[in-house]
Amino acid sequence: MRIDDVLQRIQCEFVEMPGLRLTAAQAQRLWGLERDVCNALLGALVDAKFLLQARDGSFIRMEGARPTRLAPMIRDSQTQAVA
């Protein structure tokens, strides 16, 4: 699966389920991602101001955030292809 497809899927999940709150471990299991890949993607979504990482470490969508294409912003070699 391509990274931009995974990013789109993650963003759609947060848009379709307002109030969704996931830890990195929960996100990793939900989307079947390796830990490093999942952390890189969640970090990119935080950097893009789509997600916010709460004090407890969980991730929530920032109010009013809209999905965006982020794949070109992610350069980590571990995120080039997702199994």
pLDDT in tens, 42-55: 999 999 999 999 99
Overall average pLDDT of the 60-83 stretch: 63
Determine, yes or no, domain membership for 81.
Answer: no
Taking the complete model, does pTM exceed 0.95, yes or no? no
Provide the CATH number for the domain around residue 30. 1.10.10.10
Determine, yes or no, domain membership for 46.
Answer: yes
For the chain, the three-class secondary structure string (H helix, E strand, C coil) is: CCHHHHHHHHHHHHHHCCCCEECHHHHHHHHCCCHHHHHHHHHHHHHCCCEEECCCCCEEECCCCCCCCCHHHCCCHHHCCCC
Determine, yes or no, domain membership for 83.
Answer: no
**Residue span of the structural domain in which 30 resides:** 3-76
Determine, yes or no, domain membership for 17.
Answer: yes
